[in-house]
């Protein structure tokens, strides 16, 4: 649970929603078609959606990230080697349904949407510029997958001295052991692991 110095009281917050895209959350998406088990990932849709609603009520800015690549994978780096079969099925290719945010995320005009080509939401994006402009000091970070893009984003956020809150039911990995191990690492060294229900309760308290 959040420690005293990582509570919501007195904080200037933003929420980063990492890669909640059709590719990862829909049975017709490229992860499932590529042979990956997205069962655990799909469980994040409801808690993330509920957090989005609560953040809107509390006037907390929402920043969506999308993992998006060129069709020729020239910007994919080592992914083009380590996940070569996904190039063949146009996984995460810009401009395709696969790369779009899941419509259940209810992305709106006032939200921020950042495209990235690497795991971390900070790498080669304007995320830090946006957060500094908003005067943010605390981040709620959710999305998929826990041990890859979410963890990479959390580590980079911590290096930039942002306080971090991670709702454990609003992040997921394809492997439950990797998920649990990453949450333990985050709690130990990078931020506070909490629940979406606790965060929503705190956010609605702010909104009142």
- Active-site position among 87, 102, 111, 149: 149
- Active-site position among 87, 116, 163, 168: 116
Q: Is 149 annotated as catalytic? A: yes
Residue 88 CA from chain centroid, whole number: 25
Q: What is the DSSP letter of 3?
A: -
Q: Half-sphere exposure of residue 17, counting CA atoms within 13 Å on the CB side?
A: 28
Q: Which of 171, 167, 123 is nearest to 144 (CA)?
A: 171
Spatial separation of the C-alpha atoms in residues 208 and 193, rounded to whole Å = 24
Q: Is 12 annotated as catalytic? A: no
Spatial separation of the C-alpha atoms in residues 8 and 15, rounded to whole Å = 12
- Active-site position among 19, 98, 111, 202: 19
Q: Is 202 annotated as catalytic? A: no
Strands 112-116 and 163-167: unpaired
Residues identified as active-site: 19, 116, 149
């Amino acid at each position: 649970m959040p420690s005293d110095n990582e509570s919501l009281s007195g904080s200037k917050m933003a929420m980063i929603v990492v890669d909640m895209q059709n590719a990862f959350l829909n049975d017709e998406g490229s992860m499932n078609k590529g042979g990956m088990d997205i069962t655990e990932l799909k469980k994040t849709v409801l808690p993330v959606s509920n957090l989005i609603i609560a953040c809107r009520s509390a006037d907390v800015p929402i920043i969506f990230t999308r993992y998006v690549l060129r069709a020729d994978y020239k910007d994919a780096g080592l992914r083009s080697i380590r996940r070569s079969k996904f190039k063949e099925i146009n996984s995460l290719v810009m401009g395709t349904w696969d790369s779009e945010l899941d419509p259940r995320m209810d992305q709106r005009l006032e939200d921020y949407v950042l495209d990235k080509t690497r795991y971390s939401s900070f790498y080669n994006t304007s995320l830090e510029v946006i957060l500094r402009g908003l005067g943010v000091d605390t981040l709620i970070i959710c999305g998929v997958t826990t041990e890859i893009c979410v963890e990479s984003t959390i580590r980079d956020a911590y290096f930039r001295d942002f306080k971090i809150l991670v709702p454990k039911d609003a992040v997921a990995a394809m492997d439950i052991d990797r998920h649990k191990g990453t949450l333990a690492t985050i709690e130990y060294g990078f931020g506070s692991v909490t629940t979406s229900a606790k965060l929503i309760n705190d956010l609605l308290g702010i909104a009142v």
